[in-house]
Structure 1
Amino acid sequence: MEKITLGSGCFWCTQAVFQRLRGVESAVSGYSGGKTKEPFYREVCSGTTGHAEVVQVTFNPEVISLTEVLQVFWKTHDPTTLNRQGNDVGTQYRSVVFYHNEDQKAIAEDIKNELDAAGIWPDSIVTEITAFEKFWPAEDYHQEYFESNGSQPYCQFVVAPKVEKFKKIFADRLK
């Protein structure tokens, strides 16, 4: 198994996507990239801890490659908006790849450069690619949030459309 830690806005959305991806063993919502030890949701939401909402993805590279994982990552959020995804604004919602080794770093940088050169988005990709240091799992009520709270307005208007977009684009990679 291999791990990579990804931030693409609200971790409820990110986790809901990666849980459905064939080859992913687990997708855990949490926090990474900040200075505060053992951060809590309210602190992270304040934007003062430096953490991003992330999902730590554990995947089987014999089933799905890191390249495929990163293709899903970049195509299921807007990597061109700095510290923002939709109405979620702040550094905690930044687009970021926390790589766990130098091979992951090289692959992430190559894909980012290829996507930027292809001009898929009208603006340049602002996704950070930075070394992984520490991951703190989010509080239990954040885990599998969409599955447990799918009828809530945020889930209906934000998470569900992302999941549907993912299912449409990556239908051949669903569990």
Structure 2
Amino acid sequence: MQKKTLSDITIQGKRILMRVDFNVPLDEEKNITDDKRIVEALPSIKKVIENGGRLILMSHLGRPKGKPNQDFSLTPAAERLSELLDCPVIMAGDCIGTEVMQQVLALQDGEVIMLENLRFHAEEEANDPDFAKELASLGEIYVNDAFGTAHRAHASTEGITRYVQTAVAGYL
């Protein structure tokens, strides 16, 4: 069976919800010590940006045990991605909620927002259907580019696919 990829969809003007694996190692000062996972996601990310998509990135970092913990914030990953892309990456304060939805709906073509750590919510690892549905509501198209987490039945990798019309693979 042929799977659709990022190359098979129309991106222009669409909200592209992309699951990436930015679970990167950090030192005590919260500096990234190895950005390989971010760099490897660049082809998929650039494809969306260069084709006028409105990119919503989601990932986990570490094991915050289902509660917000700034030691596991994705802010360093958003900052590093911004450097690599040479363009701003908006950092959301959460991954769901009214404020996040407003930020996502305000995106213009070619802009990028990074959602805060999915694992700040226990519902992510529990594959909670309501959590998956709320994540899915942020995008029009779902792209899984998180090769390292694709085997997990979590809300952002498996559950979400039940609530989007179009789900495709990224280049990873």
Is the structural similarity TM-score above 0.5? no
Q: TM-score, normalised by structure 2?
A: 0.30
Structure with greater strand share of residues: 1
TM-score (norm 1): 0.30
Which is helix-richer, 1 or 2?
Answer: 1
